[in-house]
Amino acid sequence: MSDIYGEILLDHYRLPRNKGRLEHPTLSVEGVNPLCGDELTLDLEFDGQRLKDIRFSGKGCAISVASASMLTEALKGKTVEEIERWIGVFREFIRTGRAPDGVELGDLLALEGISKLPVRVKCATLPWSALEEAISRYRG
Amino acid sequence: MKTVEEIRRDFPILSLKVNGRPLVYLDNAASSQKPIQVLNAYCRFCESRYANVHRGVHTLAETATGDYEEARKTLADLVQADARGVVFTRGTTESINLVAQSYGRKFIKHGQAILMTPMEHHANLVPWQVLARAVGAELRFWPLNQDGTLDMVEGRKLLDARVAMVAVAHVSNVLGTINPVREIVEMAHRVGAKVLVDGAQAAPHMPVNLSEIGADFYAFSGHKMCGSTGIGVLYGRPEILEDMDPFMTGGEMIREVWLDHATWNEIPHKFEAGTPPITEAISIAAAARYLQEIGMDWIHAHDTMLTARAWELLAAEPGVTLYGPAGERGALVTFNVAGVHPHDLAALLDRDGIAIRAGHHCAQPLHRWLGVQATARASFYLYNTPEEVDALLEGVRAAKKVLQLV
């Protein structure tokens, strides 16, 4: 198997960014990984169309925790439209293992080997699926 | 008597390298590997003896039918049961569903109870939930002791005359608990209840004597005992099978068919609608003969030695929590390592060629009882060695180093 447990991923697992709960979230969503029962909660605080703050909580494997940590880091401060674009980019990236042309993925690139580990794809996409639900609920 | 080295040479897949390392296959509770004797039996049957069974009168139809029925006798012999009670199914899951539907819908009535344990695999839980809802039966659960054994005192209190069925694992696929099924059958029969034993984790690993256990139903799978997937056994006491309605209907299971009705074939054929898994039956019979040649007593002793070693090594390792009883147990250890998610542990062990299982092992209610979402499980079989158990410990230590929070 390709080595998914690289330094960037492990760094996000050991020292996750934006971990915890928000005091006044606009909304909270939960995601469950049916493979292992891992649960993850995303708290989002919007200021109009902009995601002012985001935090995640719950227990998970290194891949789901790192993926959630990277998600919060990449999307804090983005607009709803930008976030929707990012969700599409991430899904494409996880499916193919390649970033779409002209997109800078940053730390998320650490997940590039996931496309070859079909069982673990659910771990990486867990926080993103929760985010997608949050956005669709926010848009109402 | 074969040595473990000789046994290993019978299994072609064991010489495989995974990620550049020799395969250490410790996922036997999920599925077992196949020896060359089983693969050859399958090939030889397809090359020279194959046709559909119980239909044609040509030469191959006769040889195939003979081999298929011989396979039934071999399996009956493995668990010391009457071959008329041996039904070939797709596996343990189908076997249990068959009983829940064909026995349950006819004989389990509104207001009666089905008694299970919290350690059941989903396959011995969900079919009974569905049945209970359909007929209006009550579900009861035999409490566990702290160590994951059945609380025989509290369980006895639940076993009253309203209980129609007791459904219990012979060996838990997570805790490794070996349940006292013979005693449970005696207790159940005293109040008039029937007993189904899920033998998926027992029949491949230890001598099973159904004439002694006395269970009304006993289920197990081919692929966990060195046979192929897609076949399993349901043993049912013949006099009970006689009274049950068919599970599925169609060809083979009928005696006579008119446009508007039909009558049923004799048991066990009444429960084998359509073309049965013929080549799989040849495979499971070859597997049963292979295991019997090695000896079920030897396999049980070998499994026990490996399991005790794994338990001892892991129990002494800081940060490791083990689940289930410490003493006599089935051929598996289930555990967690502090700070290491079981999926990460399994993925990191895989880098060293070590295959274990991580997750809830199709036993979510039991994991809730344990208070964890997931666990790691290493499970052993006749071809595993003490050195492989040691490799597991080394792998656990390496994973802790990689993942442990700083």
Question: What digits encode the pLDDT tens for the residues B256-312?
Answer: 999 999 999 999 999 999 999 999 999 999 999 999 999 999 999 999 999 999 999
pLDDT value for A100: 85
d(CA A51, CA A84): 12
B405 close contact with A: CB closer than 8 A:
yes
Instruction: Compare all CA atoms of chain B with the CA of A35 and give the residue at the minimum distance.
Output: B359
Residues B164 and B147 in one domain: yes
Chain B, window 289-348: residues with a beta carbon less than 8 angstroms from a chain A beta carbon: 341-344, 347-348
CA distance B403 to chain A (A): 7
DSSP per position, B327-391 = SS--SEEEEEETTB-HHHHHHHHHHTTEE-EEE-TT-HHHHHHHT-S-EEEEE--TT--HHHHHH
Q: Is A1 domain-assigned?
A: no
pLDDT value for B406: 44
Instruction: Compare all CA atoms of chain B with the CA of A16 and give the residue at the minimum distance.
Output: B405
pLDDT value for B373: 87
Residues B144 and B86 in one domain: yes
pLDDT value for A99: 85
Total count of domains within chain B: 2
Contact B347 A1 (CB under 8 A): yes
Contact B341 A61 (CB under 8 A): yes
Could you list the residue range(s) of the whole structural domain that residue B12 is in?
4-27+296-403
Structure ipTM = 0.82
Least CB-CB distance to B344: which of A1, A39, A61?
A: A61
Question: Strands (DSSP E) along B2-154, which ranges?
Answer: 17-18, 21-22, 24-25, 86-89, 113-116, 138-141
Residues B279 and B372 in one domain: no
Residues B300 and B267 in one domain: no
Residues B19 and B96 in one domain: no
CA distance A32 to chain B (A): 11
Q: pLDDT (tens digit, 9 = 90+) per residue, A74-108?
A: 999 999 999 999 999 999 999 998 888 888 899 99
Q: pLDDT (tens digit, 9 = 90+) per residue, B108-166?
A: 999 999 999 999 999 999 999 999 999 999 999 999 999 999 999 999 999 999 999 99
Structure tokens given for A47: 């200021």
Q: pLDDT grade, residue A117 (50/70/90)?
A: confident
* CATH code for position B324: 3.90.1150.10
Mark the ranges of chain B whose per-residue pLDDT is less than 70: 405-406
- Average pLDDT of chain A is 92
Contact A3 B351 (CB under 8 A): yes
**Using CA atoms in the order B184, B190, B195, B200, what is the torsion angle rounded to 10 degrees?**
20
pLDDT value for A102: 86
Least CB-CB distance to B373: which of A1, A38, A63?
A: A38
Interface of A to B at Cβ within 8 Å reads: 1, 3-5, 10, 13-14, 35-39, 59-63, 117, 120, 123
B348, B352, B373, best to mutate vs chain A, most A CBs in 10 Å: B373
Q: pLDDT grade, residue A34 (50/70/90)?
A: confident
d(CA B123, CA B140): 16
Residues A121 and A93 sit within 8 Å (Cβ to Cβ): no
Instruction: Compare all CA atoms of chain B with the CA of A120 and give the residue at the minimum distance.
Output: B343
Beta strands B332-337 and B113-116, pairing class: unpaired
Contact A14 B350 (CB under 8 A): no
Give B133's contacts (C-beta < 8 A, 6+ positions apart).
Answer: none
pLDDT value for B405: 56
Q: Is B177 domain-assigned?
A: yes
**Where in the sequence numbering do the catalytic residues of B fall?**
362
* CATH code for position A130: 3.90.1010.10
N-to-C CA span, chain B: 51
Could you list the residue range(s) of the whole structural domain that residue A27 is in?
7-139
B373 close contact with A: CB closer than 8 A:
yes
- Residues in chain B with CB shorter than 8 Å from the CB of A1 are 19, 347, 350-351
* pLDDT higher than 60, residue A111: yes
Residues B116 and B221 in one domain: yes
Q: pLDDT grade, residue A37 (50/70/90)?
A: confident
Residues B265 and B311 in one domain: no
